[in-house]
Amino acid sequence: TSIKNLFKILSIMSKKTFSKLISEKFQISRKKAEDLIKNKKVLLNDNIESRPYLVVQEKDIVSLNEPIEKKVNIILFHKPKGCITSRSDEKNRTIVYDYLPKKFNHYHYIGRLDYNSEGLLLLTDSTTYKRKLESPKSNIKRVYVVNVIGSFNDLKLKALNQKIYAAKIYKNPHVSLTHTNKNKHTLRFELTEGKNREIRNICEIFNLKVERLKRISFGQYKVKSIPISKYKEMTIHESY
């Protein structure tokens, strides 16, 4: 009986109204969700559904009959070295939100830069836009300038541009040599997905010590005009 009751509770918890599900999925107001449903702009399991208060389940598939445009607020932050991309830190180190006004505390960071990395960090008030930019399926290019120390030649450069098999598999990072001076080199990495510490791990595989790692762009967004530790606000209109 207790197991049956548990299943009953879980079943109730997984249910909600159609308008609430749409509101949460597309980050729009409940009123806007109701209007879209009543105007037959939304599909439920590939069929038009016009009843906003219909009880649905999380597993139901919802989609829009036509795109909706939503305002998305973005911050381009020039992250310095020596701060954590996190909302808090158990070691009480500086976090990226310490550099931003409190009104941005609810913004979500898109991807991460580790403690010793610097450069462009994007933050947004839209979880949908965050997921889109972070997804490998979006194929969005991130560009990094990396200063390394160690022996380097054309053979190593060629190997860096192949699929790298290690503890994790790194799919063909696009790497170019932009400057070299004895055993100090500047590399440009272009990646389309951001695995944890990917560049540092790749460099370690090739016996290259990372001196400096800076992200200079993320898709259409660039850090160039933003002073270190400062930020720039932007608003875009994104279709879903």
The residues annotated as belonging to the active site are 114
Rounded CA-CA distance 187/200 in Å is: 12
Q: Are 34 and 195 in contact (CB under 8 A)?
A: no
Using the Cα atoms of residue 22, residue 23, residue 27 and residue 30 in order, give the sign of their dihedral: positive
Q: Are 99 and 229 in contact (CB under 8 A)?
A: yes
Enumerate the β-bridge partners of residue 239. 69
Residue 85 dihedral angles phi and psi, to the nearest 5°: -85, 85
Q: Are 109 and 76 in contact (CB under 8 A)?
A: no
Rounded CA-CA distance 210/201 in Å is: 10
Burial class (CB in 10 A: 0-12, 13-18, 19+), 58: exposed
How big, in percent rounded to 5, are the helix, strand and coil portions of the chain?
Answer: 25, 35, 40
Q: Are 80 and 118 in contact (CB under 8 A)?
A: yes
